[in-house]
Amino acid sequence: MKMRIGGAEVAGADERWMPVVNPATGEEIDRVPEGTLYEVDDAVKAAGDAFSSWAGRAPRERGLLLFRGAALVRERHENLARLLTMEQGKPLKDAVDEVRGFANVLEYYAALSGSLAGEYIHLGKAGDAVVAREPFGVCGAIVPWNMPALLMAWKVAPALVAGNTMVFKPASTTPLTSIRLAHILDEAGLPPGVLNVVTGRGEVVGEALVRHPGVQKISFTGDAETGLQIQELASGSLKPVTLELGGSDPMIVWKDADIEKAVAGAVRGRFYNAGQTCTAVKRLFVHQSIGEEFVRRLMEAVRTLKVGNGLSPGVDMGPLSGAPQRERIGTLMETLKNRGQGKVLTGGMPLKGPGYDAGYFYAPTLVTDVHPESALLTKEVFGPVLPVICIPDLDTAIMHANNTRFGLGASVWTHDLSVAREVFSRVRAGVVWVNRHLTLPPDIPFGGVKTSGIGSENGTQALSSYTRLRSLYIGW
């Protein structure tokens, strides 16, 4: 089997296929080729061949192609969203938002295409200099399964607008939406070889991409351990890497918070995408003066969440991404219960019964009285489990917030600007929200500190990160 996207072959080892399974039903919905080193090599070659002509176009011309692609994606968002729900599990309304998010990001970078510029520096009698901003060449991009469309846009759009070509590797469990989106960009007029998708396993296709001498830059989103491995692999050839890794975001609810808004923010922040989001609220700290009321209202809200197949109307939360993910959450909760490391207020078990048995559903879970050594506080928990801890003062909240190797996002819920400022200046996180959590518009740079990554996506900064500078010195 040979698929062609943008002129490059997509995976294609003739006999090897990987099933794509709907996590809500356990049914195989499609198969994609399991790529090998051969397909990576082929795709890198196609991207290399396409590079000079693509980089030679005016940036605004590249931007126009992305605008066209975004318009087609908007036109077809319903079908794309259904496909995304079927392969990934999130409720249809969230899948629609994610597909629209793909179009938003394309449009954002398309609009910035006219701003790509170098510099002129006058050096007095010594001469003049021109600083050129140039694309790298072939970039490799690797993404996880939790937001296949949005994360694809975060990499593809700035890289292509800047004049690079790309080999893109989706997660093995969620390749279908990415393949369809790449076909749409193809249809919008992307020349052959500019964007290539290779499906396959991370240890094979992903590693081959990172090692490949024809790839000039790597942008990776995924688990921190994989990110560390990738950085090591890439350092052999001095490839620049952008790493967007895990998080253990704290949410601090201060005593003056609007409780209703904070409860809604916590529910969305933790249970969106069944808790499988890098910037999900993973630890919640609430001021003890409002703790009791807050926890009561939070529990009521969590109990009303409708869990089910994302294609069914009114569903708030879908399944976990698959059996391994549900097993991980199950083991973690069993350990917590067996060791008496917390009090489970609601949930704490896989969902069983009609509509649930064939899929990978887990009940939305709230835990209080959490022991400091529980994995809920020491690890990144990628599932619908929220630990809530009452804190006596801001110093304690900030101390807990920073007590993690991650530093992706953090939020504080307050109307007191001095509290907000204190949290922003003392909590080590790439993004700090006030009275919000999760929202990441394309306009603001997003990237983690500590083990949450290096480099930024979004904003004008991401566009620059897909370029390098070269100087021309003219001596008179």
Active-site residue, 457 included: yes
The C-alpha angle with vertex 385 and arms to 382 and 389, in degrees rounded to 5, equals 120
Q: Give the Å distances, CA to CA, from 337 to 172, 298, 331, 348, 435.
A: 33, 21, 10, 9, 32
Segment contacting ligand NAD (CB under 6 A): 103-111, 157-165, 226-234, 305-313? Answer: 226-234
Q: What angle do CA 135, 137, 142 make, to 5 degrees?
A: 105
Catalytic residue among 169, 207, 278, 282: 278
Residue 169 or 437 having the CB closest to ligand NAD: 169
**Which of 171, 298, 320, 363 touches ligand NAD (CB under 6 A)?**
171
What CA–CA distance (Å, rounded) separates 463 from 474? 28
Contacting residue, 157, 278, 290, 429, with ligand NAD by CB under 6 A:
278
Which of 36, 85, 113, 172 lies at the binding interface for ligand NAD (CB under 6 A)?
Answer: 172
CA distance 476 to 192: 43
Span of 219-227, 298-306, 308-316, 390-398 interacting with ligand NAD by CB under 6 A: 219-227
Q: Which of residues 409-448 bind ligand NAD (CB under 6 A)?
A: 448
Among 193, 247, 347, 350, binds ligand NAD (CB under 6 A): 247
As beta bridge partners, residue 412 has 252, 434
**Is residue 203 flagged as an active site residue?**
no
- Based on the shown chain and the rule CB under 6 A, indicate whether residue 360 belongs to the binding site for ligand NAD: no
What is the nearest approach in angstroms of ligand NAD to the Cβ of residue 130?
A: 35
347 binds ligand NAD (CB under 6 A): no
Residue type, 390: C
Take residue 367 and report the two structure tokens written for it.
């835990």
Long-range contacts of 291-295 (CB under 8 A, 24+ apart): 291/390, 293/259, 294/253, 294/259, 294/262, 294/263, 294/388, 295/345, 295/366, 295/368, 295/388
Give the span between the Cα atoms of 161 and 432, in whole angstroms: 28
Q: Say which amino acid occupies 145.
A: W
Q: Is 223 in the site for ligand NAD (CB under 6 A)?
A: yes
The window from 9-17, 43-51, 136-144, 461-469 that contacts ligand NAD (CB under 6 A) reads 136-144
Tokens 């052999």 map to which residue? 236
Interacting residue with ligand NAD among 12, 59, 137, 144 (CB under 6 A): 144
How many whole angstroms separate alpha carbon 339 and alpha carbon 105?
45
- Residue 169 sits in the site that holds ligand NAD (CB under 6 A): yes
> If you search the block for the tokens 């079908």, which residue do you land on?
79
44 binds ligand NAD (CB under 6 A): no
Find the DSSP H helices in 92-147: 92-112
Contact 377, 387 (CB under 8 A): yes
Is 210 near ligand NAD (CB under 6 A)? yes
- Which among 37-45, 99-107, 241-249, 282-290 is the span making contact with ligand NAD, rule CB under 6 A? 241-249
Select which of 155, 169, 239, 282 is catalytic.
155
State which residue, 146 or 165, has the beta carbon closest to ligand NAD. Answer: 146
Which residues in the 66-95 window bind ligand NAD by CB under 6 A?
none
Is 293 one of the annotated active-site residues of the chain?
Answer: no
Nearest-approach distance from CB 99 to ligand NAD, in angstroms: 17
Is 246 a binder of ligand NAD (CB under 6 A)?
Answer: yes
> In the complex with ligand NAD, which residue's Cβ is closer, 46 or 408?
408
Q: Which of 81, 202, 65 is nearest to 148 (CA)?
A: 81
Number of residues that bind ligand NAD (CB under 6 A): 30
Edge-to-edge, what's the strand order for the sheet holding 453-454? 195-197, 165-169, 138-142, 217-221, 241-244, 453-454
Under rule CB under 6 A, residue 206 binds ligand NAD? yes
334 is catalytic: no
Contact between 250 and ligand NAD by CB under 6 A: the answer reads no
Report the distance separating Cα 262 and Cα 242, nearest Å. 32
Which one of 1-9, 184-192, 242-250, 330-338 is the stretch in contact with ligand NAD (CB under 6 A)?
242-250
Task: Please measure the distance between the N-terminal and C-terminal CA atoms of the chain and give it in whole angstroms.
Answer: 59
CB environment 78-100: b (16+ within 10 A), e (fewer): eebbbbbbbbbbbbbebbbbbbb
Nearer Cβ to ligand NAD, position 324 or 372?
324
Residues that bind ligand NAD (CB under 6 A): 142-147, 169, 171-172, 202-203, 206-207, 210, 221-223, 226, 229-230, 244-247, 278, 380, 382, 408, 448, 453
Active site residue ranges: 155, 244, 278, 457
